[in-house]
């Protein structure tokens, strides 16, 4: 009966989500319908769906000026403030299933590439080997699926920990603490530091722990730090010592050590950022874009005085591992303007455009940017973020990963909300996923 109730909870959760997404798709389709009024005298219009940041706008404006009268890129904004990554994924899938030629280029989370491959045009004939080799190798890996060059990275992301250096500098042993942080502090030392600093009730460690992909990234980093893996021989393996240790730590941060507030279980990235700033927290599991978020939402000048960054903490017997992510461009297989769309995709890989994206908190994907000594000298953090790639944690790169992630993050979140035990969550999530694999769901 207990298993039946859990299954029904998952089912009702899915139905609620699908209803919301269906409404969003209606809005999305209506938006395109309003946009697509053209005549034969106008330039070829390319419709590009993404979270349109200031850097996106600048790039689009530059491209449109360069190709005035020939090609015009029309942005379709899917802002993170309105759509979580999971909502954005479902929105795109439901639109693309309609096989409309109205969407030309769409941006996907790095781990969605296999899921969206069926909707995309292979890009092998458009990109030479030299053009592909210009992409950072760690980002290039995710461009391929099922033997096809199917996507192009716009920027990549890497998990990182930000902290309030102004507060830590007040400690008598700050130099020793910073040395440990810079070389990746162990969880044991990190928890000890937390005991010292959390006595006044100030949040010590914030992370995004809602039931979505952001929580999966933290979970994967802890598994990878133990050299563990989620996928073995085509099956999901969750009932393992590495997974139990990882999930126990996430839970203990909230309930045993009380270093993370229970509110984290409702946070996506931006919500964790806001709580961290509003409550003067010490440490934040985040992405490089946190600093840009702070400049745009809080203060454009104080960040250099307040924050520093460090690798994600590691288990004593392992290495610090940072989840690699980012957003990739895909060309819709239903687009009737492929040649013009590819021109825009290549334009976005231009060095000047890639540098522009860096100032919006996105990491460049072209090798030449990292070998540009003057740029790196002006932006030393570029070198730090690039160094994290050698120990990147990769999520399973398979078509149904997004479904696996939905199930796993839902059950992990229930543990962090103290609704089920660690063992129950891991067993149940593994059972659901592997039963679906066996039945071909």
Res 28: pLDDT? 52
Nearest to 346 by CA among 154, 108, 93: 154
Name the E strands within 69-193: 71-77, 105-109, 144-145, 148-149, 152-158, 160-164
- What lies within 8 Å, CB to CB, of 299 at 6+ separation is none
Res 122: pLDDT? 97
Q: What are the φ and ψ backbone dihedral angles of 379, each rounded to 5 degrees?
A: -130, 70
The domains of the chain are located at 2-157+325-393, 160-323+399-439
Q: What's domain 160-323+399-439's superfamily in CATH?
A: Periplasmic binding protein-like II (3.40.190.10)
Low-confidence ranges of the chain (pLDDT < 50): 1-23, 25-27, 30-31, 34-38
Give the other-Cβ count within 10 Å of 363's Cβ: 28
Res 104: pLDDT? 97
Per CATH, which fold does 2-157+325-393 belong to? D-Maltodextrin-Binding Protein; domain 2 (3.40.190)
Fold agreement (2-157+325-393, 160-323+399-439): yes
343-402 pLDDT per residue, tens:
999 999 999 999 999 988 899 999 999 999 999 999 999 999 999 998 999 999 999 999
Res 440: pLDDT? 63
Res 84: pLDDT? 77
Res 174: pLDDT? 97
Res 22: pLDDT? 46
Res 80: pLDDT? 81
Task: Give the strand pairing for 144-145 and 71-77.
Answer: unpaired
pTM over 0.75? The answer is: yes
């Amino acid at each position: 009966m207990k298993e039946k109730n859990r299954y029904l909870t998952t089912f009702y959760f899915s139905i609620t989500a699908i209803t919301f997404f269906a409404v969003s798709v209606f809005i999305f389709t209506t938006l395109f319908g309003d946009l697509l009024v053209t005549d034969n005298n106008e330039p070829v219009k390319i419709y590009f769906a993404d979270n349109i940041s200031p850097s996106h706008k600048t790039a689009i404006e530059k491209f449109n000026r360069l190709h005035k009268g020939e090609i015009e890129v029309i942005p379709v904004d899917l802002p993170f403030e309105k759509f979580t990554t999971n909502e954005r994924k479902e929105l795109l899938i439901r639109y693309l299933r309609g096989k409309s030629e109205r969407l030309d280029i769409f941006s996907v989370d790095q781990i969605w590439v296999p899921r969206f491959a069926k909707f995309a045009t292979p890009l092998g004939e458009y990109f030479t080997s030299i053009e592909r080799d210009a992409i950072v190798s760690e980002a290039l890996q995710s461009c391929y699926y099922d033997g096809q060059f199917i996507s192009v990275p716009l920027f990549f992301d890497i998990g990182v920990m930000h902290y309030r250096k102004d507060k830590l500098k007040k400690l008598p042993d700050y130099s020793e603490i910073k040395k440990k942080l810079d070389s990746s502090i162990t969880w044991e030392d990190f928890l000890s530091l937390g005991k010292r600093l959390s006595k006044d009730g100030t949040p010590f460690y914030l992370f995004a722990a809602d039931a979505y992909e952001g929580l999966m990234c933290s979970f994967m980093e802890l598994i990878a730090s133990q050299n563990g893996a989620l996928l073995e021989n085509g099956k999901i393996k969750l009932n393992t010592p590495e997974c139990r240790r990882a999930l126990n730590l996430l839970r203990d941060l909230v309930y045993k050590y009380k270093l993370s507030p229970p509110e984290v279980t409702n946070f996506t990235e931006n919500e964790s950022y806001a709580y961290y700033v509003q409550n003067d927290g010490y440490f934040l599991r985040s992405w490089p874009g946190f600093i840009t978020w702070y400049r745009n939402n809080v203060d454009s000048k104080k960040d250099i005085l307040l924050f520093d960054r460090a690798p994600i903490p590691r288990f004593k017997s392992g290495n610090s591992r940072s989840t690699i992510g980012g957003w990739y461009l895909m060309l819709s297989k239903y687009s009737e303007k492929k040649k013009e769309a590819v021109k825009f995709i290549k334009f976005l890989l231009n060095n000047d455009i890639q540098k522009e994206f860096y100032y919006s908190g996105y990491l460049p994907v072209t090798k030449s940017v990292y070998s540009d000594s003057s740029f790196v000298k002006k932006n030393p953090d570029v070198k730090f973020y690039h160094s994290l790639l050698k120990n990147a944690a990769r999520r399973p790169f398979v078509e149904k990963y997004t479904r696996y992630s939905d199930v796993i993050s839902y059950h992990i979140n229930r543990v962090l909300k103290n609704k089920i035990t660690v063992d129950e969550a891991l067993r149940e999530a593994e059972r659901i996923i592997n039963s679906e694999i066996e039945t071909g769901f």
